[in-house]
Structure 1
Amino acid sequence: MPHRLALLGVLAALSLLVAPSAPAVTSAQCDAQVNDTPSKLIPCIQTDDLWAHMQAFQAIADANPGPDGHPSRNSGEPGYKASADYVASVMKAAGYDVTLQKYKFLYYAFTGIPAFSEVSPAAHNYVLNNDWGPGQSTGVANAQLQPAGGIVLPPTPTSTSTSGCTSGDFTGFAAGRIALIQRGGCNFGVKIQNAQAAGASGVIIFNEGNPGRTDLLVGSIVDAAGTPFVPTIPVAFTTFAIGQDLFNQYQQGPAPTMNISVQAIVDPNRDDWNVIAESKGGDKNHVVVVDAHLDAIYGAGMLDNASGSATILDIAQMMKNVNPLNKLRFIWFGGEELGILGSAYYVNNLSSNELSHIGYDLDADVTATPNYIIGVLDPAAPDFFGGQVTNTFPNRVYKASTIARDQAVTYFNSIGKNHEFLSPTGTDAISFNQVGVPASGLLTGQDCCKSQHEVDLFGGFLGNYEGNIPSFDGGCVDNAFLWCDNLSNNDPQVLTFMSKAFASMVVQMAFDTKVMSASNSVVYKKKLPIASDVGRHPSK
């Protein structure tokens, strides 16, 4: 993906920032003083305090296993509610006005280890997370395979397959069989709905085979309108090579008999919460939102995103004595991993008048990656996951978002660190951008793969951002059934310097006089759809 090097030299604004060699201050001093400038606040963001919050989140996960028996802070589970209660108690003790905003969502959780195998004629068990991955579905199928129509083999140089996208692709399909479908042309959920209508007992979706579309891809299951749903037949996603092999076996005969088993709990009306904490001071007509998502995706969720949650929690504590010019609204969102549910719900339930008073959003989404990058959110920048500039927001968003973005750049220059600009896609900041609120924020990367260019910028090594994890294509965060996004998946020193950088942004935005005029006092209002790429997995 394209990157931008950090600016050379030290800007005049650096005089506002604390020097790296500033004398240490004690926790007691930090607790008592008014940390209303970067030079006061930044030294008070300290590793021990940040790590104490991280340990608390890990302890909560350990004490609240999910349906699979592993530590969990996933939305809709006791570990998430305990995390929300912990944040609320800390913020109340610090003197903030705290509310828990409840909403409902479609809950899904695996209850066992899914299985996918060829039973005959060539018995073979496929390796979970390597050969295949389960779609969010439920059921067991043991039947012969039958390809849907529209499969394009060999694949064309660009995507042309529309396999399974129409009911006509299932003409002559034998009810009870498992449908083999190629990726391409429509949402995965549409393919699955067509297969189920034709009587399929299960579905296998294989990658299309064009350049960049050959490896395992576990997609989000949404219908034609982008609404998530859970099929009542099991769904297996697999690689192009495996799909092609199964297709060839069918063509040569006999049709292979396959087994797919996906066991899960489904609750279409599960409770979840956003934690909202406001400063008592500050102009209620000039609000700066400071957010992180509180939920995990597979397990304890310590890197993604206990790290960002700890970052803003510690900053809020250190700013408890500050009387800001702009009201600060700290929010810990739920459901981000499921399609930015919490932030979409929050924004959708603001009146146009309430929305017009929000001048800016600052988002902390992953701040402690061991093999880190330094990503500064910019709505005009490429997507961290896809490397393309694809977002279109109201015009006011782009220029105004540079206010805090440039504050971050200035701070990183002051401590001799490079940066790159990245899109807010996949973060809660995009919920604000989409309704006309400018935003920036920080992230340090997750999963795979760190490029040579990023190694040149930030050090570290090629491969997984999360460290030396035995998976080049993914990490602990977004791979189901690894359960390794624990404290050990975080670097406390990275957490510290990134939290200091974020603190410099928050305290400057707390007193910024340009924020409302730069965003033209937001009046744009539209209802946000549920994100179709749920949990950052493509939906087609």
Structure 2
Amino acid sequence: MSARPVWTLIVVVATLASACERPPDPAALPTSAEIRRAVTVDAIRAHLQALQRIAERNGGNRAAGTAGHDESAAYVSGVLEDAGLEVHSQEFTIPVFEQVEPSELEVTGTAGGGPEEVEPFADGEDFKAMLYSASGDVEAPAAFLDFDPAASGEELTGAGCESSDFAGFPTGSIAVLQAGPCLRRDQVVNAQTAGAVAVVVSYPGWHSGSVRRPTLLSPLQIEVPALSASSEVGAALFDAAQEAVPSPIHLRVSTNVRTIDRTTVNVIAETHSGDGAHIVMVGGHLDSTMDGPGINDNGSGTAAILEVAVRLASAELRNRVRFAFWSGEELGLLGSRHYVESLSEDERDSIALYLNLDMIASPNFVRFVYADAGSPSGSEAINDVLAGWLRSQGLETDPFDLQGGSDHGSFARAGIPVGGLFTGATELKTVSEAGVYGGRPGAPADPCYHLACDTLEEIDEQVLGEMADAAAHAMVTFSTRSPPIPGS
């Protein structure tokens, strides 16, 4: 069902009501300490256990458009309704990517004869079809684009982000690239426009067993098979090509995939008390990737928001609080984007701020507070509250620019002040960060990011509790003062 009529009615009624109601008695307002004491790691863990069991019953994931996500949404809705909150499910349609058969990648020969011996590559371990890759089975010469076999780490410097990078590209070849500082969609579309019949993108920081599945954001305009691959695959292909000079090596790329439109839901809940003209909003994505249960990404944010919602459900508040659990984030922020685009101008104006929780229990964590460049006015005040509370507890923080890469980006683009918390994904911990936060320098914040091992056993409950407390403090702060952001 469409969300606009529901939320328009809520905003209108709440605005009229707020003009008639007297402000709440300051003595009745909840304190940060009260809510933080009620939001316990044990309660958050119970939600995470429920989400993990749901994934186990549904093929190991809770991806948008699947039974696992539907069951996750039903669980969250049930908890919110039991707490007495007003709960709505916003339905919308998304393109769901499915792999019908294992993909294949192999060296088949050279123009001058058979290939040098190259170990077979395994789908799921060495490479994966990207989300929204096209299907196809092609055999063609490989064409390498400024390939640097010595590249390493998480810094993405590969060519192909500009169409001009493909000047002189041999039409009818399979493009072999390294991940660049742009959307993977940009590299794939640029390659196919230049005449590539398939694309293989190697990631210097990814190794066998830790290959992820980047999203191409939409199946539209994607016409060729597109694979993400480990650094070892890239190096093996490059070495084989060097040994075959002057003849090019030939590769075979096969993908049997499909994209199907399915209905999914955002779960939205709201407190009964508080001024509906100044809505304090907190959210995080409920969906996992198709490759794992998503307990840190983003069961951790989901569970923390859920428990804060339970504890604020019956509280007397100055400003209404709205809780959101998004679908389709892993496909390209689809749920939060749909929600924001469905709002009228008045509905957007009623949202004072949006706080995002995405991955707050990484095992090799850094306590990051959002600091996206170009965020709307008021965003710094949100993040000052988060960082200020953590520092008041003797806990170090660092700013982090997510470049709008989680659901807060949908709100920032609409001019709504945003903030959030994050403990890291594939970022490699520096020596200086290890000196501050402990953990392993040179290792990713979450080695199980977007993988099957993203389970309850891999999260850090200490930082989960700290970040949940910071979020609870911020929600109490913004919901009990008027205006939520001073000067707004």
The TM-score by the shorter chain falls in which range? 0.7 to 0.9
Indicate if the aligned counterparts of 1:446 and 1:464 stay in contact, CA closer than 8 A. Answer: no
Q: Does 1:348 align with 2:334?
A: no
Seen in structure 2, the aligned counterparts of structure 1 residues 78 and 420 have a Cα distance that, compared at 3 Å, is same
Give, in whole Å, the separation in 2 of the partners of 1:153 and 1:464: 24
Seen in structure 2, the aligned counterparts of structure 1 residues 324 and 445 have a Cα distance that, compared at 3 Å, is same
2:227 corresponds to which of 216, 221, 236:
236
Equivalent position amino acid for 1:235 in 2? A
The residue that corresponds to 2:432 in the other structure is 453
Indicate if the aligned counterparts of 1:289 and 1:360 stay in contact, CA closer than 8 A. Answer: yes
Give, in whole Å, the separation in 2 of the partners of 1:219 and 1:163: 22
Give, in whole Å, the separation in 2 of the partners of 1:461 and 1:168: 42
The residue that corresponds to 1:524 in the other structure is none
Give, in whole Å, the separation in 1 of the partners of 2:146 and 2:419: 42
Seen in structure 2, the aligned counterparts of structure 1 residues 162 and 417 have a Cα distance that, compared at 3 Å, is closer
The residue that corresponds to 2:33 in the other structure is 39
Give, in whole Å, the separation in 1 of the partners of 2:392 and 2:169: 62
Give, in whole Å, the separation in 2 of the partners of 1:119 and 1:63: 40
Deviation of 1:405 (Å): 1.7
1:433-482 CA-partner distances (Å, limit 9, x unpaired)? 22111121211112341111211221122133456xxxxxxx2223xxx4
Q: Counterpart of 2:428 in 1: which secondary structure? A: strand
1:422 corresponds to which of 400, 403, 422:
400
Give, in whole Å, the separation in 2 of the partners of 1:56 and 1:147: 47
Give, in whole Å, the separation in 2 of the partners of 1:218 and 1:251: 31
Deviation of 1:413 (Å): 2.2
Seen in structure 2, the aligned counterparts of structure 1 residues 154 and 332 have a Cα distance that, compared at 3 Å, is closer
1:141 corresponds to which of 116, 137, 142:
137
Seen in structure 2, the aligned counterparts of structure 1 residues 181 and 230 have a Cα distance that, compared at 3 Å, is same
The residue that corresponds to 1:376 in the other structure is 369
- Within a 5 Å distance, the mapping from 1:406-445 to structure 2 comes to 406-424=384-402, 425-445=404-424
Deviation of 1:234 (Å): 2.6
The residue that corresponds to 2:23 in the other structure is none
Deviation of 1:38 (Å): 0.8
1:156-206 CA-partner distances (Å, limit 9, x unpaired)? x987768976998566x45xxx523546799223234336x67x3x33346
Q: Does 1:108 align with 2:72?
A: no
Give, in whole Å, the separation in 1 of the partners of 2:250 and 2:102: 20
Q: Counterpart of 1:355 in 2: which secondary structure? A: helix
Give, in whole Å, the separation in 2 of the partners of 1:435 and 1:458: 35
With normalisation by structure 1, the TM-score equals 0.73
The residue that corresponds to 1:317 in the other structure is 310
Q: Does 1:126 align with 2:125?
A: no
1:489 corresponds to which of 452, 458, 473:
458
Seen in structure 2, the aligned counterparts of structure 1 residues 420 and 139 have a Cα distance that, compared at 3 Å, is same
Indicate if the aligned counterparts of 1:105 and 1:271 stay in contact, CA closer than 8 A. Answer: yes
Give, in whole Å, the separation in 2 of the partners of 1:166 and 1:345: 34
Give, in whole Å, the separation in 2 of the partners of 1:75 and 1:264: 17
1:274 corresponds to which of 259, 266, 275:
266
Indicate if the aligned counterparts of 1:115 and 1:259 stay in contact, CA closer than 8 A. Answer: yes
1:106-133 CA-partner distances (Å, limit 9, x unpaired)? 2113345433221332242135577544
Q: Counterpart of 1:464 in 2: which secondary structure? A: coil
Seen in structure 2, the aligned counterparts of structure 1 residues 181 and 115 have a Cα distance that, compared at 3 Å, is closer
With normalisation by structure 2, the TM-score equals 0.80
Seen in structure 2, the aligned counterparts of structure 1 residues 465 and 235 have a Cα distance that, compared at 3 Å, is closer
Give, in whole Å, the separation in 2 of the partners of 1:91 and 1:446: 28
Q: Does 1:60 align with 2:54?
A: yes
Q: Counterpart of 1:310 in 2: which secondary structure? A: helix
The residue that corresponds to 1:245 in the other structure is 239
Q: Counterpart of 2:304 in 1: which secondary structure? A: helix
The residue that corresponds to 1:77 in the other structure is 66
Equivalent position amino acid for 1:126 in 2? F
Q: Counterpart of 1:344 in 2: which secondary structure? A: helix
Number of residue-to-residue matches in the alignment:
440
Give, in whole Å, the separation in 2 of the partners of 1:163 and 1:434: 24
Identity within the alignment, %:
27
Seen in structure 2, the aligned counterparts of structure 1 residues 446 and 58 have a Cα distance that, compared at 3 Å, is same
Seen in structure 2, the aligned counterparts of structure 1 residues 35 and 494 have a Cα distance that, compared at 3 Å, is farther
Q: Counterpart of 1:331 in 2: which secondary structure? A: strand
The residue that corresponds to 1:383 in the other structure is none
The residue that corresponds to 1:405 in the other structure is 383
Q: Counterpart of 1:463 in 2: which secondary structure? A: coil
Indicate if the aligned counterparts of 2:366 and 2:437 stay in contact, CA closer than 8 A. Answer: yes
Indicate if the aligned counterparts of 2:108 and 2:251 stay in contact, CA closer than 8 A. Answer: yes
Equivalent position amino acid for 1:143 in 2? E
1:341-373 CA-partner distances (Å, limit 9, x unpaired)? 111111111111110111111111112112211
Deviation of 1:90 (Å): 0.8
The residue that corresponds to 2:154 in the other structure is none
Give, in whole Å, the separation in 1 of the partners of 2:213 and 2:281: 31
Seen in structure 2, the aligned counterparts of structure 1 residues 53 and 460 have a Cα distance that, compared at 3 Å, is same
1:81-110 CA-partner distances (Å, limit 9, x unpaired)? 111111111111111111111111221133
Seen in structure 2, the aligned counterparts of structure 1 residues 219 and 229 have a Cα distance that, compared at 3 Å, is farther
1:290 corresponds to which of 282, 285, 291:
282
Q: Counterpart of 1:497 in 2: which secondary structure? A: helix
Equivalent position amino acid for 1:134 in 2? A
Give, in whole Å, the separation in 1 of the partners of 2:212 and 2:362: 23
Deviation of 1:518 (Å): 3.4
Deviation of 1:143 (Å): 2.2
Indicate if the aligned counterparts of 2:219 and 2:259 stay in contact, CA closer than 8 A. Answer: no
1:260 corresponds to which of 232, 253, 269:
253
Q: Counterpart of 1:436 in 2: which secondary structure? A: coil
> Mind listing any 5+ residue stretches in structure 2 that lack a counterpart?
1-26, 110-114, 152-156
